[in-house]
Each structure stands twice: as C-alpha cells, then as structure tokens.
Amino acid sequence: MIKVDFTNVMVDSIGQRGLKSSDYELINYTLAFRKISSRSYAELGFLDLWKQDLSEIKRLGKYASGFDNMIILGIGGSALGPRAIMEALKPFHNFKAKPKVFIYDNVDPLTLSEILDLVDLKNTIINVITKSGSTAETMASFMILWQSLKDKGLDITKHVIATTDTQKGDLRKIVNDYKLMSLEVPSNVGGRFSVLCAVGLLLAETIGIDSTELLKGVSDIDAICLNDNISTNPALRFALTCYLLHTIKGINMTILFPYSDQLRRFSEWFCQLWAESLGKEGRGLTPYPSVGTTDQHSQLQLWMEGPADKLVVFIAIDDYGRDITIPSIECKFNDFANQSYLSGHKLSNLIKVEQEASEIALTKNSRPNITIKIPKIDAYHFGQLFSFFELCTAYTGILLNINPFDQPGVEEGKNLTYGMMGKKGYDAKRQEFEEYRKMKRLII
C-alpha cells in the first residue's frame, strides 16, 4: 500500500511556516467527505471504475496487440493518462516490443507527418479517444487518419477503435453509423478523471499491462481514502493540508517530485488534474511537474531559497525493480580517488539517499514537504497512485469551495477557435477574433 508522510508540514519540523495540529480542527472537513460519499456531484463515476467489467477492453486489447503500430489520438485527459501508464509500467516499450505506440495529443503538423512517415497504416490500429466526441484537435487528426486509411484502401472498421461517451457526441454517432469498434467513457466520468476506464486501460491491455491489477490497487486505496478520519485517510489529510497551507501560510504551488524517470509522465497527468480541477473563481494551486534527481540540479535552488510559496510532494520508491552496483575503478588519474566513496553502492541507494537529502534540506530551510512512499512501480501500486490523487483533487476542490469537475475557463478559447475555423453558429466569435488581430499594434 502507498503511504504518506506528513511530518514535514508540521510546526515541529519546519517551525512557523508549518501547521499546528489545532489548525486541522478549524475546518469542517467532514463536509468535504460527505459531499463525496453522498455523490453530490454527477461526475463522481470515477469512484466506481474499480468494479467495471473489463471483458470488452481485454478483448479489444488483445485484438490491438496484433498490430505493429498503435496511434492514439486524444488530448488532455484522453492522452495524459494512457501516456503515464505506458511510461510507468512499460518503460522503453517502443524499443522492445510491438505494437509501437504513438500518442498524438496536439495538432502540430510536423509531429503527425513524422508519425505517418514511420508507420505502415496496413499494420496500424488507431485508437481515437475523446469523451465529448467533438474536441477540435482530436477530430481534426481523426479526419486525417480516416482519409489516409481510405486512400490506402483499408477497412476503417478493422483499423479504428473509438473510445468515447456511451451515448453523447459526434464520435458516438460516427461509431454507430459506420459500425466501428468502440469502448465507453461512462457519462459520469470526466475527462481528466478517466484514466482508469477504457481511456487508459485499452492501451494497458494492448501492451501487456494487467488492468485487473491496476483496478485492484484502486479498490484497496479507496477503501482507506473514503472516510472522514484524517488520522487514517491520507487523501483527505493531503487535501486538508494543501488547503491549510494555502489559506494560512500562502502556499500557492504544488510541486510533484517523484524520484523515478518512470513517473515523469505521471507528473504531467497530475498537473492537468490539479490545474484544471482547482484553478477557478480566483482560487487554485499551481502544479509543477518535476523529477528527481534531475531537478535537484535545475529547480531545487528556487524551492530552497526562492519565494516560500511551494509545497514539494516527493514520491519515494522503495524497490526500483532493477539495480546496478557502482564499480570500483582502477585508474591512474587521481580525480577518480575523489569518487571512490561511490564504489560499491547501488544506484538505488544513491537515488534514495538523494531523495531523503532533499527532504532534509528543504525541511531545515522551513519549506513544507510531503513524501508519498510507494513500494514499487507496478500495476497494483500505480493504480493506487492514480486514485489517491483523484480523491485528493476532489477533496481539495470541495474544501476550496469550487466545483472540481468542470472547466469553464477553457471554453472561451475553444469557441474562438471554432469561430475562426468556420464552425456553424460561431460567427460572432470569428468577428471578435478578426478585430483582435487588427488591434495588435505593439509588435516590435
């Protein structure tokens, strides 16, 4: 089970910048728990994903695994989760096995052109993922792939799996009209909370990750994170800690700092979840994706001595799965003698010591930090990490008194794009866009 260490946010560890036990009593956090347990929001369907029927996902995963390439088209929650799963649980997959996976989550023409140069569509399965079924970026790339398949005389129904809302949206209509293979995003599961449904699990099954194990982890962590006891519920305590540090101590940034290359993409997944869920009505906490030890030599100076507005959340790994011992090198250059202290240690020892050293250094400098300890990065514990952060986000949003499940702030940009790209009904937005272009004068 993952464990969370809150020692270094308390006054005893970091002095005046820390929290007192009595601070935790100032807030009616039971209410936050009740809003979740009584299902006060329509989007809480992610809590039920641990018990979903996996048979169709496994069947299509097996089908997709027979191809040489898989192209995933999606953006935001429809891409960050699958990518985090692949990089954490099958690092270097594309160098070692098939299908090679390409996750195209942008509309950068160069990227898609390069992907199309690399793959033979005859041996390629396309997984188009969009919960709404209408996101411009995803639909644009899907239209390009659709036409490319047709140009090659390939049967769309054999090369496309669509993952979308059960009933709503244009993509679901296309699925029905063309009898495409498809999987469902339950209507009560929001995009950035959807990694543990077909959105992430089809890729998992395709590349040999057992989604049953992922969900077992989810069900086990949920069993301890769905109660209102902050002494035993780490997600509620995490949320309350973030809230208190923010409101009492001016902490506005949350840095996710896993000591593992495998969790780089997980940090990106977390950043979307945290930013899009919490940043509204003038409130929110800015996430920053990081990785240790790399960022000790890039960011740590700022976190140590820059503005005291950050909470650093370490993820410490107990068992890295593989290891290498640093050799003792016979060398005539004296400089090597200075490095001999490293000889005989394992790399896992070095990375763990560095993680703890950063923890100690931040603590000595009164910078709040939390450490999440994960026994190993396998499907079971990775499922726990996903669900833990989803629950932390939901609790934190409720404590901040905002709706963590909507994203009204991204609509305006979308509408302006629709206007400029000629979508019906968006003429006023097109005009606004054109006026803006004319008004831009301070270009030097």
Q: Annotated catalytic sites, by residue?
A: 276, 297, 414
| Least CB distance to ligand PA5 at residue 76 (A) | 3
Residue 186 preceded by cis peptide, ω within 30? no
Contact with ligand PA5 (CB under 6 A) among 76, 186, 292, 368: 76
Query: Is residue 72 involved in binding ligand PA5 (CB under 6 A)?
Result: no
Q: Is residue 127 a contact residue for ligand PA5 (CB under 6 A)?
A: no
Least distance (Å) between residue 163 CB and ligand PA5: 9
Among residues 318 and 411, whose Cβ is nearest to ligand PA5? 411
Piece of 56-64, 111-119, 188-196, 289-297 that binds ligand PA5 (CB under 6 A): 188-196
Name which of 38, 6, 22 is nearest 394 in CA terms.
38
Q: How far is the CB of 410 from ligand PA5 (least distance, A)?
A: 7
Residue 14 interacts with ligand PA5 (CB under 6 A)? no
CA contacts within 13 A on the Cβ side of 175: 23
User: Nearer to ligand PA5 by C-beta: 265 or 310?
Assistant: 265
Which one among 124, 127, 138, 206 touches ligand PA5, defined by CB under 6 A? 138
The CA-based angle 130-132-136, given to 5 degrees, is 70
Least distance in angstroms from the C-beta of 335 to ligand PA5: 50
Near ligand PA5 by CB under 6 A: residue from 191, 234, 289, 383: 191
**In the complex, minimum distance from the CB of residue 387 to ligand PA5, in angstroms, rounded to a whole number:** 16
Nearer Cβ to ligand PA5, position 82 or 234?
A: 82
Give whichever of 169 and 383 is closer to ligand PA5, judged by the CB atom.
169
Residue nearest to ligand PA5 (CB): 191
Judged by CB under 6 A, which stretch of 108-116, 186-194, 254-262, 294-302 contacts ligand PA5? 186-194
Q: Does 383 bind ligand PA5 (CB under 6 A)?
A: no
Three-state SS for the chain is CCEEECHHHEHHHHHHHCECHHHHHCCCHHHHHHHHHCCCCCCEHHHHHHHCCCHHHHHHHHHHCCCCEEEEECCCHHHHHHHHHHHHHCCCHHHHCCCEEEEECCCCHHHHHHHHHHCCHHHEEEEEEECCCCCHHHHHHHHHHHHHHHHCCCCHHHHEEEEEECCCCHHHHHHHHHCCEEEEECCCECHHHCCCCHHHHHHHHHCCCCHHHHHHHHHHHHHHHCCCCCCCCHHHHHHHHHHHHHHHHCCCEEEEEECCHHHHHHHHHHHHHHHHHHCECCECCEEEECCCCHHHHCCHHHHHHCCCCEEEEEEEEEECCCCCECCCCCCCCCHHHHCHHHCCCEHHHHHHHHHHHHHHHHHHCCCCEEEEEEEECCHHHHHHHHHHHHHHHHHHHHHCCCCCCCCHHHHHHHHHHHHHCCCCCCHHHHHHHHHHHHHCCCCC
List the interface residues with ligand PA5, window 267-286 (CB under 6 A): 276
Q: Which stretch binds ligand PA5 (CB under 6 A): 44-52, 126-134, 327-335, 423-431?
A: 126-134
How many chain residues are in contact with ligand PA5, going by CB under 6 A? Answer: 14
Distance CA 390, CA 197 (A): 13
Is residue 141 part of the contact set for ligand PA5 (CB under 6 A)?
no
Determine if 254 is a binding residue for ligand PA5 (CB under 6 A).
no
Q: Is 135 in the site for ligand PA5 (CB under 6 A)?
A: yes
Of 182 and 371, nearer to ligand PA5 (C-beta) is 182
C-beta of 397: minimal distance to ligand PA5 in Å? 13
Q: Does 195 bind ligand PA5 (CB under 6 A)?
A: no
Q: Does 397 bind ligand PA5 (CB under 6 A)?
A: no
Select the span of 71-79, 204-212, 257-265, 426-434 touching ligand PA5 (CB under 6 A): 71-79
Task: Compute the CA torsion angle 390, 46, 49, 370 (nearest 10 deg).
Answer: 10
182 near ligand PA5 (CB under 6 A): no
Candidate residues 111, 132, 286, 366; the one interacting with ligand PA5 per rule CB under 6 A = 132
* Shorter beta-carbon distance to ligand PA5: residue 244 or 392: 392
Tokens coding 397: 């949003």
Footprint on this chain of ligand PA5 (rule: CB under 6 A): 75-78, 130-132, 135, 138, 190-192, 276, 407
